[in-house]
Amino acid sequence: MSELQVAAPILVAHRGYSGRYPENTLLAYEAAYEHGARWMELDLQMTRDRVPVLHHDETLKRMAGVELDIRDISAKQFKALRASYPERFEDEFKDNRFTTFRRFCKWLQKNPDVTTFVEIKQESIDRFGIPVFMDEVHRRILESEVENQCVIISFNPEVITYTRKISSMRSGWVLPKWSDEVYQLAQSLTPEFLFTDRKILPPEDDDIWPGSWQWAVYNLDDVAAAIAMANRGIPMLETNQIGTLMQDARLANRA
């Protein structure tokens, strides 16, 4: 069995406890919290009436089983739908509801020991633009006074730049690929965090880019892979199986 040779990594609940509950819903975040997670990640899209809501895809087909584009419906319509993820969970969560970002921020306010990575999705950027989208997101963060608990992340580097312009919030860039050009842009952006899919990391004998940022790797759902990544020097690991990883003794004593 693999053994941890470094300090235990910080485990991040990707879309909440998404391996067991419908992703990006309060049910998934509450479950992650109950299993000991204090770092979370969520995705934001925007409704037609410019309300930021928790959802990964631009359409509701996967999560609600309906052929609707979030950007074409109102927040009221969005909240009326069931967030059951039927193709994975059938009718187990048939009464589960979607969550607005304002409601999530209220939950965050009640749990001051939680830090959340807030991913700004490109589909809603394309429809509404960064200033409109980010200003609405920032307004809700300020309303609940949770700036210190939110880290804005995105694949779009301009989101990082705009976040710095309007706030003092921390930010993270999600890497599109592994290349010299991307490294140069990371050095220019100097985000507090760099996120990467484990699939695009270089071979284990290659160095991971040094910098002022903290590394986070996502798509780590089994303990052996998580330990291997931690031993490579990655301090934050994002997982859909937060309950399984949090309960493993080899990953105990995390920060």
Per-residue pLDDT tens over the stretch 3-44: 888 888 999 999 999 999 999 999 999 999 999 999 999 999
Contact between residue 124 and residue 152 where contact means Cβ atoms under 8 Å apart: no
* Boundaries of domain holding 211: 10-57+101-251
Output the domain CATH number for residue 130. Answer: 3.20.20.190
Q: Is residue 85 part of a domain?
A: no
Domain assignment present for 158: yes
- What's the predicted TM-score (pTM) here? 0.96
In a domain? residue 157: yes
The reply to whether 213 falls in a domain is yes
Does residue 70 sit within a domain? no
Task: With CA atoms as reference, report the closest residue to 201 among 223, 179, 168.
Answer: 179
98 Cβ partners below 8 Å, 6+ apart? 24, 25, 53, 54, 55, 63, 64, 78, 79, 81, 83
Q: Give me the chain's average pLDDT, please.
A: 96
168 CB-near residues (< 8 Å, 6+ apart): 147
Tell me, yes or no, whether 145 lies in a domain.
Answer: yes
Q: pLDDT category, 255, cuts 50, 70, 90?
A: very low
Query: How many domains would you assign to the chain?
Result: 1
Structural domain contains residue 187? yes
pLDDT digits (tens, 9 = 90+) for 114-157: 999 999 999 999 999 999 999 999 999 999 999 999 999 999 99
